[in-house]
Chains A and B, each alone.
Chain A
């Protein structure tokens, strides 16, 4: 839930990166962290296992600038993608304002994409949200790999509702900021509508 602090003149929003294990959620945040100027970002927190798999969440606070004299701050979170961390994923979705669903474009990960997308809908429902009411965008990641599903096919399978979608190669930064910009815009537009 966005948090507007009239006293310190700040608007705070929470964006969650969701998707199957190893699809590149953490990589998205790492790229944003690396390429953002120091004064606009806070410390990136990663709660990971010894093998660098996300255990609970990654967290990156970003300050994007002012709107009508209010500072806009975005808290970016990732969920752990591995199936058995479902309890943690539910917790991280609490209070979410916008979602980036990161899909893995590789042929062999299509089932995992679908399963994760369905899991996201179920977990949102459990928190009392519905995907149709929450701003979200989809990122088709790993477009540089050889064995990938065509974008048209990916759209058909996981983007039947026609959400804004972007091709990306998060590992080298391609498409990461386009995705972020799109979700930030949607969240702010939703905030405006909600009023």
Chain B
């Protein structure tokens, strides 16, 4: 993740938060790493949310394959107060929208669709850049055995 793409992604996520009248919006990597969080996120453990969402998508992805589907790209969980709308973006990342009665499933779906198209582009750009990998190289090569050893003292 780099500064430029991070800004782009953050801008799309924040607009989605406003347009969909949502409580909070998270972007999570399919491996369970949190990429971005916006909105009323204070009382939610984002790391746990990211890993459980990825587990959830992985499990439903497994179910999809069992019945001959490629994946279930949208999941919706309805609660008494808050609801979760989870969708896969660009086959690589997961968009999680938490909303309550101030919004509706229809509105969230509509806004998520538009945001997904924009996010897909930013993510593709990010993946291309990661594939080029120029910046990774510098950072990782500088790590010494002493650096690793020091983590444990």
Contacts and interface: CB of A to CB of B under 8 A. Distances in A.
A94 interface: yes
Nearest to A195: B140
A188 to B, nearest CB: 5
B148 A4 contact: no
Contacts of B147: 67-68
Majority SS of interface residues in chain A?
A: mixed
A188 B35 CA distance: 21
A91 B55 CA distance: 8
Contacts of B120: none
B63 to A, nearest CB: 9
B62 A91 contact: yes
Interface of A: 1, 3-8, 12, 14, 42-43, 45, 47, 56-57, 59, 61, 64-65, 67-68, 70, 72, 75, 77, 87-88, 90-92, 94-95, 181, 184-185, 188-189, 191-192, 194-195
Interface residues of B, number: 36
Contacts of A45: 48, 51-52
Interface of B: 1-3, 6, 29-33, 35, 45, 47-48, 51-52, 55, 58-59, 61-62, 133, 135-137, 139-143, 145, 147-152
Contact of A43 (B47, B135, B139): B47
A127 B147 CA distance: 31
A65 B151 CA distance: 6
Given A87-B62, A95-B32, A188-B143, A195 B151 contact: no
B56 to A, nearest CB: 10
Interface centre among A8, A67, A88, A94 (most CB of B within 10 A): A67
Contacts of B150: 65
Contacts of A184: 148, 151-152
Contacts of A191: 140, 143
A148 to B, nearest CB: 29
Given A7-B2, A59-B32, A59-B48, 10 more contacts: A3-B33, A5-B1, A6-B2, A12-B33, A43-B48, A61-B47, A90-B62, A94-B30, A95-B32, A191-B140
Contacts of B6: 5, 7
Contact of A6 (B31, B135, B137): B135
A90 B66 CA distance: 14
A26 B119 CA distance: 37
Given A7-B3, A57-B55, A184-B151, A94 B143 contact: no
Contacts of A7: 1-3, 6
Given A45-B51, A94-B30, A95-B30, A6 B3 contact: yes
A189 B151 CA distance: 13
Interface centre among B1, B142, B145 (most CB of A within 10 A): B1
Given A42-B48, A88-B59, A3 B140 contact: no
B45 A192 contact: no
Nearest to A186: B148
Contact of A75 (B1, B3, B32, B59): B32
A3 B31 contact: yes
